[in-house]
Amino acid sequence: MPKDTTSKKANSGETREEPIQKNEPPQQSTPPSGNFQDQLEKWADDFVASINYDRLALWKEIFFHPTATLTEQMKTPSLKRAAKDVFIASLPMLVVGLVGLALVFFYLFLLGTFAALLAPGMGLFVLAGMVIGAILLIILYFASPIIGWLLISVIQFVVAKLLGGKADFRTHSYMIGLASATENVGVSLFTIIGLVPCVGWIAQPIRVLVSIYGIYLNYKAVKVAHGFDTTRAAAVVVVPFVIGVAMVVAVVLAFYLGLFSLALLARRP
């Protein structure tokens, strides 16, 4: 039979002291906070939710996740949709710029009125020309984002094709339009914030950073659209910029060389 050890311990009268356990409060583990990009994306989500515009949600995804979002959007290219995106994203900045445009109109109106007073016959034609010119200037002003997008798309498309690009013009332009719209909405936002007193000085450098990031988005759009490697995609973005700068420098040099030549001709007896 097995020995009854329990009864022996009870009869011996020995008592075993149990260690006293202190009731310490359980330690609460604080969840790790996300990195800066996660927090920034959360703020962007809150902003998008407050506006409640579906394309704004798309531009936000392109801003934070360009490769995956642009790859998905490549399946449904549309020139009409891209033009609309570029215009709507640039609209706040265009509205802010109306102040300067209004000053130009006021100056033209004064010139037309002054001409009408000096020469009533010809002045009316001048004033009518000023009005027509102002209307055309307004149309050109609001169409400038779309014109700029199409111009950049054409130049980059030519360079991309020379480097072996596979995308057609509609797909290429649509991808460039998405990148441009994403950049424009960010620049517009911080342009408006820059008008707020005591806060504008913070918004200005952020706007510059968003513009620089827009170049990266353009690079991503070209890379995804044509399936380029890093070198060829960067070349498509950089080459048109270099050509544009060279053209501006050439025009300025030609202008000053012309003035210099006229000055030399005027000195001759």
Give the pLDDT score at 216: 95
Q: Is residue 255 part of a domain?
A: no
User: Is the pLDDT assigned to residue 17 strictly greater than 80?
Assistant: no
Q: Is residue 226 part of a domain?
A: yes
Q: Is residue 22 part of a domain?
A: no
Q: Is residue 3 part of a domain?
A: no
Q: Is residue 138 part of a domain?
A: yes
Q: Is residue 266 part of a domain?
A: no
Q: What is the mean pLDDT of the chain?
A: 81
Domain of residue 177, residue span: 57-234
Residues 220-264 have pLDDT tens digits of 999 999 999 999 999 999 988 888 888 889 988 888 887 777 777
Q: Is residue 9 part of a domain?
A: no
Give the pLDDT score at 145: 93
Residues 167-180 have pLDDT tens digits of 999 999 999 999 99
Mind giving me the DSSP string for the chain? ----HHHHHHHHT---PPPPPP-PPPPPPPPPPP-HHHHHHHHHHHHHHHHT-HHHHHHHHHHHSHHHHHHHHTTS--HHHHHHHHHHHHHHHHHHHHHHHHHHHHHHHHHHHHHHHH-HHHHHHHHHHHHHHHHHHHHHHHHHHHHHHHHHHHHHHHHHHHTT----HHHHHHHHHHHHHHHHHHHHHHHHHTTSTTTHHHHHHHHHHHHHHHHHHHHHHHHHHHT--HHHHHHHHHHHHHHHHHHHHHHHHHHHHHHHHHHHHHH--
Higher pLDDT, 16 or 114: 114
Q: Is residue 66 part of a domain?
A: yes
Give the pLDDT score at 176: 96
Residues 55-113 have pLDDT tens digits of 999 999 999 999 999 999 999 999 999 999 999 999 988 888 887 777 777 777 776 67
Is-above-0.85 flag for pTM?
A: no
Total number of domains in the chain: 1
